[in-house]
Amino acid sequence: MKIMTGLYQIKVPNPTSDRVYLNSYIIQGESGWLMVDTGWNTPEAFNALAEGLQEIELDFSDIKEIVITHSHPDHYGLAGKIREHSKAKLILHKKEMQYGEPRLETTDDLLHIIAKWLIKNGASNDELPQLLEASPGLKAVSSFVLADVFLNGNENISTGIFDFEVIWTPGHSPGHICLYEPNKKILISGDHILPHITPNIGLGPWSGENPLGAYLSSLKSMEHLDVDTVLPAHEWVFNGLAKRIEELLQHHEKRTNNIMRVLGAEPMTAFDMAFHIPWMIDGRETAFGYLSAMDKRMAIWETLAHLELLLTEGIVKTYTKGDIVFYKAW
């Protein structure tokens, strides 16, 4: 699909849901094309990209650079395969290497780390098997390859036609980046800013310190960017960047208030707290007990991200009993 002259979007199918596609962007350059984000490591995703390129009379060999907004499997999964087919340079923020779930060799390693983290945050041994259910599937659609170029943020990635500034936007993942084109007033926003979905900001084994604090400040720093068109990695292209940022900031403030209401003088684990907070799934309020294994984990991660921010602000305090971490209000 053409977004503007020299810039196209390809919708890449999701192996687990037929609603949320990954948007890959294909951008013209003077001596080759730039691809932003690839999709999952599945044959269907690969075929969708091949067909999308064919529609604009390109093939993989026309791609000279692949920029990945962050290393989640829906963005990075196919990066290695596309590089093989295109000989393109693979570009990623260096923080995605430092952390990064996909790097783990086996599902067992992955499960072991998640299990330890869940126990530390209050999940009981009875609940563990169910909470760990969703991981093997995730591993199957990721593949880890090493990038060729590592970014820090503030670099310029120019195709000769489009001049992008790299903006480091940690939060949803520690090395998330957005690409800003000031002349054309476009922002490729990855998962940092989506038009309707609220990006998951969680404190898990791979998220770096205080991801919510990082997310909120990287959102605020973008409020004044001169942008007409936002090109997100999921859902649809939209206008009104500042308004969407405001909505996201308000959402997190509301969530913080929910957590503050649950917090009391009695110490609680993040798991206990997640149990007492309302969760929104597909626009409907859902009790923690009814969430899927994956959503439960995300709920615990999200609760932890809020708690960590409240900790740094001196609003809650924490202590450890045995191997388990508890929180309470000051």
Q: Which amino acid is at 244?
A: R
Whose Cβ is closer to Zn ion: residue 215's or residue 327's? 215
Q: How far is the CB of 190 from Zn ion (least distance, A)?
A: 7
| Residue 72 is a binding residue for Zn ion (CB under 5 A) | yes
**Residue carrying structure tokens 């087919």:** 85
Taking CA atoms, 280 is separated from 275, 299, 301, in Å, by: 13, 10, 15
In contact, 300 and 123? CB cutoff 8 Å: yes
Taking CA atoms, 296 is separated from 107, 130, 291, in Å, by: 19, 10, 6
| Residue 74 is a binding residue for Zn ion (CB under 5 A) | yes
Whose Cβ is closer to Zn ion: residue 41's or residue 269's? 41
| Residue 244 is a binding residue for Zn ion (CB under 5 A) | no
Cα separation, 190 vs 185, in Å, equals: 16
DSSP state of 30: T
Q: How far is the CB of 172 from Zn ion (least distance, A)?
A: 5
Choose the stretch contacting Zn ion; rule: CB under 5 A; options: 58-66, 74-82, 148-156, 203-211: 74-82
Q: Helices then strands (H, E): number in the chain?
A: 11, 16
End-to-end CA distance of the chain: 53
What are all long-range contacts of 16-23, with beta carbons under 8 Å and residues at least 24 apart?
16/137, 20/197, 20/234, 20/235, 21/234, 22/74, 22/75, 22/233, 22/234, 23/231, 23/232, 23/233, 23/234, 23/235
Whose Cβ is closer to Zn ion: residue 72's or residue 95's? 72
| Residue 96 is a binding residue for Zn ion (CB under 5 A) | no
Choose the stretch contacting Zn ion; rule: CB under 5 A; options: 71-79, 152-160, 244-252, 285-293: 71-79
Whose Cβ is closer to Zn ion: residue 74's or residue 308's? 74
Choose the stretch contacting Zn ion; rule: CB under 5 A; options: 10-18, 189-197, 215-223, 240-248: 189-197
Whose Cβ is closer to Zn ion: residue 14's or residue 28's? 14
Q: How far is the CB of 240 from Zn ion (least distance, A)?
A: 21
| Residue 191 is a binding residue for Zn ion (CB under 5 A) | yes
Choose the stretch contacting Zn ion; rule: CB under 5 A; options: 90-98, 145-153, 186-194, 284-292: 186-194
The backbone torsions φ and ψ at residue 308, rounded to the nearest 5 degrees and listed phi first, read -65, -40
Whose Cβ is closer to Zn ion: residue 29's or residue 102's? 102
Q: Count of residues binding Zn ion (CB under 5 A)?
A: 3
Q: What is the Rg, in whole angstroms, of the alpha carbon atoms belonging to the chain?
A: 20
Q: How far is the CB of 75 from Zn ion (least distance, A)?
A: 6
DSSP state of 27: E
Whose Cβ is closer to Zn ion: residue 72's or residue 252's? 72
Cα separation, 214 vs 173, in Å, equals: 10
Choose the stretch contacting Zn ion; rule: CB under 5 A; options: 98-106, 190-198, 247-255, 312-320: 190-198
Q: How far is the CB of 210 from Zn ion (least distance, A)?
A: 18
Q: Can you give the binding site for Zn ion, defined by CB under 5 A?
A: 72, 74, 191
